[in-house]
Amino acid sequence: MKALFIGGTGTISSAITKQLSETGWELYLLNRGTRNESLPANVTIIQADINDEDRVAKLIANLEFDVVADFIAFEPAQLERDYRLFQGKTKQFMFISSASAYQTPLSDYRITEGTPLSNPYWAYSRNKIACEDYLIKQYRDNGFPITIVRPSHTYGERSIPLGVHGSKGSWQVAKRMLENKPVIIHGDGTSLWTMTHNSDFAKGFIGLMGNLHAIGESIHITSDETVAWNQIYEAIASALGVKLHAVHVSSEFLAACSKEDYRGGLLGDKANSVVFDNAKLKRLVPEFVATTRFDQGIKQTVEYLLNHPELQTEDEEFDLWCDKVIHALNTALKTITE
């Protein structure tokens, strides 16, 4: 069996690449080669920018695949390009969409693949929905063999998964914890969330590869574990070996006073309680089970980050913003209570 991954080195795709390389699959990665240094030795690299359609077409002219998966498509035009490149050259085309495409706010906290797709808060999610619509049309009209996969909040060893962080990543929040500084949690911290370790996601994804029952289907892949945001931050602090000093701030307030896209990322995603029903995935991949509990997985992430200083990117602007938000809340409280 032969597969081509467009990308292959991100948080989700790197875990799939690693696990797939240990099987009998023949794996090709098409990317620009900027993060290929740690790839398994038996992976074949096609070094190119997928946006250079003419060059890619020449490089794959004599190749056909059982599976092509695009991990870095975010807009319909990119899927139109993929259709031109891979129609007739693959038995299955897998598109990585997003669980944030599901209806926001939800009419039912339990999410199945039948939950409507609608997100008025986040352009990212609306673009993913448009991508799905395009692929479904190609499947219906032209028999393009698609499988749509919807990840939720998937994490690995290189970054701590959080609700609120700055543009330079999540390390600054960990640094605040280590320095005994207060940390912002959106809302009251009791909304429900699902964290999925990338090694668990990879198991489900590989089970869908070459799976004839997955053709024409949309499937989300998540853990069955549900945790509240307060539990998430407590687990991170515990992994760091410190006490958590939490400050709860309204998601609407955070979205209003930040330069970051908290309207999309919070109001359109993380501020809402979600519980995923993975029955469809387990029907298609009977052996699937997510085995990495969040408090276990986050210990691995924190240990890796503490041992790799090059990943500890500081964000002074975000740090100052946190202090300003907390100071504003304390000032308002003092004004009201005096």
Read off the pLDDT of residues 63-106 as tens digits, 9 standing for 90 and up.
999 999 999 999 999 999 999 999 999 999 999 999 999 999 88
Question: H or E element: which one contains 129?
Answer: helix 123-142
A 10 A CB-CB count for 307 gives: 9
Domains of the chain, CATH where assigned: 2-155+196-221 (3.40.50.720), 171-194+226-274+293-337 (3.90.25.10)
| Confidence label for 17 from pLDDT (cuts 50, 70 and 90) | very high
pLDDT cut 70: percent of the chain above it:
100
Confidence of residue 12 (pLDDT cuts 50, 70, 90): very high
Give yes or no for a contact between 282 and 136, defined as CB atoms under 8 angstroms apart: no
pLDDT at 35 over 80: no
Q: pLDDT category, 32, cuts 50, 70, 90? A: confident
Per-residue pLDDT tens digits for 250-262: 999 999 998 888 9
What residue has token string 């790799």?
A: 308
Give the pLDDT of residue 105. Answer: 86
**pLDDT tens, residue by residue, 198-221:** 999 999 999 999 999 999 999 999
pLDDT in tens, 218-254: 999 999 999 999 999 999 999 999 999 999 999 999 9
pLDDT at residue 39 in the model: 82
For residue 36, pLDDT over 80 is answered with: no
What confidence score (pLDDT) does residue 55 get? Answer: 97
CA dihedral (334, 237, 155, 217) positive or negative: negative
Q: Is the pTM of this model over 0.85?
A: yes
Pairing of strands 67-70, 2-6: parallel
